[in-house]
Amino acid sequence: MSFELFEMWKKQNLPRNIIEELLLIEEDNKAIEDCFYQYVSFGTGGVRGILGAGTNRMNIYTIRRVAEGLARYISSNGEEAKKRGVAIAYDTRHFSYEFAVETARVLGIHGITSYVYKEARPTPQLSFTVRELNAFAGVVITASHNPKQYNGFKVYGEDGAQLVPTGANAIIEHMNQISDIFAIEVADVTQLEQQGLFHWVLEDLDEKFMNNLLTLKNNNDINYNMKLVYTPLHGAGLVPVVEGLKQFGFNEIHIVEEQAVQDGAFPTVSYPNPEEAAAFSMAIELGNQVGADLLLATDPDADRLGVAVRNGNSYELLTGNQLGALLLNYILQTKQQNGTLPADGAMLKTIVTSELGATIAAQYDVTTVNTLTGFKYIAEKVAEFEMTKAHTYLFGYEESYGYLIETFVRDKDAVQVALKVAEMAAYYSTKEKTLLEALEELHEQFGYYKEALVSKTFEGKDGQEQMKAILNNYRLNTPKEIAGVAVVRVEDYLTGVATLHDGTTEPILLPKENVLKFVLEDKSWIAIRPSGTEPKCKFYFGVVRETKEQANNILALLKENILI
């Protein structure tokens, strides 16, 4: 089937760049199969894949297919949904702008209104825009922190959150009914503008987003002269982060100018991911030049934030778990001091996020609610709290550098968090403490929580089968102990059942997902899950001990004793 599709594509009147890519793989059967064995899969809120020719690649035809599925889904919800329309944003990647406009052209054929940003803007701003415009849906063209070869199409619901499975499955059903992607019609932008179905947006929404960001400022007793370095890593975070820091009152903001250039080739980094130490190399160089106390980096669509703190003559990167714990404690402490900490407060975290946050929350009598991995589930809980009044949302985060403070955004938001981290660091600066020293105080109080993530890449069709086999093997051969420590609880999120060491079972009241988690007798834990956005199987590890050395030792043992 792959080769038949390949031949069919060759017969089409295609853009020159796609024709050239087809010619490159013409003699490579394995490459042809990988490009055509499936359509780019609709995973975590949308599609993400490598740019190129073929059904399993990101190009205008696969974008049209997803846009057509979305258009049919919106149309099935009636004329009011079509009139409310879709907000569309995009990052700085190759073809992001073109894919955004192409999406609006497909929607326009169906009489659906589009509101398209004139310039690249962060994913969290798109989330805000959906709700601000009362749009029925949102789209952001991005592959987040993936390498330059990737792009994606992420869909948001009317609540400003990534689509949960119900909505996503409806779009997938419509996509599966499309028999010929080359027959999908697109409209002319000028005609759509004349018909009132296409609107460019920018300045007004920039201002409204900034006004909401400024509500995060709730501590004036801080060191506004603290020196900051910020890098957007060639992405879309530049405008709101820098303007937000200025309006917060910071006077010493130093930008990595080479990385302020919006360029989808990401020429100064091999991987534009603030989780990676290498992404900070230029920020560290500038930090040393200006004597900065804090380094901030956002990924291309500015939904993830990385932070590095001066430690003597060098800088130390904080993990997502560490920064989440610091932010949580700072937010709860500030609210408690201001008398605004609610009695029904809750914080949200994912099942693979450190338990340190839950321990801190308990100290403030704040409830911890766990969700599946993926910020859409945190956003779903935020909406649930608003509806049921069961809890007041205070903070949500995941280990993969995603955080949300205020709910005018319904996705992880590096812009919000960049401002709050700067405020937090400046507050501790007045106490003559760094964030590292503040973190050490948390460990001394609550224990040394240490985590690790090991990712193994499985490319292509065979890789998908290998990942399934790994999980199935663990289900068939469930370990009784790991590194000499008894497994006391096995959580299978695919079956929705937790099995205790004595054989009794408990239901897991979360959506089904292909994840396994082993909880050990000493409170250590291991989780295994295939990524929803990358061809990777991820192995998460968490431990807690009385000393840092003990925690590091047991963490190393767990990593050695798990079959990867």
Report the pLDDT value the prediction gives residue 63, as an integer from 0 to 100.
98
The catalytic site residues sit at: 144
Report the pLDDT value the prediction gives residue 44, as an integer from 0 to 100.
63
Superfamily of the domain at 38-201 = Alpha-D-Glucose-1,6-Bisphosphate, subunit A, domain 3 (3.40.120.10)
Distance of CA 373 to the CA centre of its chain: 10
Taking phi first (over 0 means left), then psi (-120 to 50 degrees means alpha), and beta for anything else, what does residue 493 get? Answer: alpha
Q: Does domain 209-446 fall into CATH 3.40.120.10?
A: yes
Distance CA 325, CA 336 (A): 16
* Start-end of CATH 3.40.120.10 domains in the chain: 38-201, 209-446
Distance CA 365, CA 358 (A): 10
Burial class (CB in 10 A: 0-12, 13-18, 19+), 440: middle
Query: Residue 13's CB: how many other CB atoms inside 10 A?
Result: 6
CATH of the domain spanning 448-561: 3.30.310.50
Nearest in space to 147 (alpha carbons), one of 402, 355, 457:
457
* Start-end of CATH 3.30.310.50 domains in the chain: 448-561
Contact 78, 158 (CB under 8 A): no
User: Is the torsion defined by CA of 53, 55, 57, 60 positive or negative?
Assistant: positive
Report the pLDDT value the prediction gives residue 310, as an integer from 0 to 100.
97
Taking phi first (over 0 means left), then psi (-120 to 50 degrees means alpha), and beta for anything else, what does residue 382 get? Answer: alpha
Nearest in space to 302 (alpha carbons), one of 235, 356, 354:
235
Taking phi first (over 0 means left), then psi (-120 to 50 degrees means alpha), and beta for anything else, what does residue 107 get? Answer: alpha
Distance CA 55, CA 18 (A): 12
Tens-binned pLDDT, residue by residue, of the chain (564 aa): 688 999 999 999 999 999 999 999 998 999 999 999 999 988 767 999 999 999 999 999 999 999 999 999 999 999 999 999 999 999 999 999 999 999 999 999 999 999 999 999 999 999 999 999 999 999 999 999 999 999 999 999 999 999 878 889 999 999 999 999 999 999 999 999 999 999 999 999 999 999 999 999 988 889 999 999 999 999 999 999 999 999 999 999 999 999 999 999 999 999 999 999 999 999 999 999 999 999 999 999 999 999 999 999 999 999 999 999 999 999 999 999 999 999 999 999 999 999 999 999 999 999 999 999 989 999 999 999 999 999 999 999 999 999 999 999 999 999 999 999 999 999 999 999 999 999 999 999 999 999 999 988 887 767 778 888 888 999 999 999 999 999 999 999 999 999 999 999 999 999 899 999 999 999 999 999 987 667 789 999 999 999 999 999 999 999 998 865
Distance CA 21, CA 432 (A): 57
Contact 103, 95 (CB under 8 A): no
Distance CA 121, CA 302 (A): 8
Contact 454, 542 (CB under 8 A): no
Distance CA 279, CA 401 (A): 14
Report the pLDDT value the prediction gives residue 460, as an integer from 0 to 100.
73
Report the pLDDT value the prediction gives residue 104, as an integer from 0 to 100.
98
Report the pLDDT value the prediction gives residue 60, as an integer from 0 to 100.
97
Task: With residue 63 as reference, give the H or E element that holds it.
Answer: helix 60-75
Secondary structure string (H, E, C) spanning 378-444: HHHHHHHHHHHCCCEEEEEEECCCEEECCCCCCCCCHHHHHHHHHHHHHHHHHCCCCHHHHHHHHHH
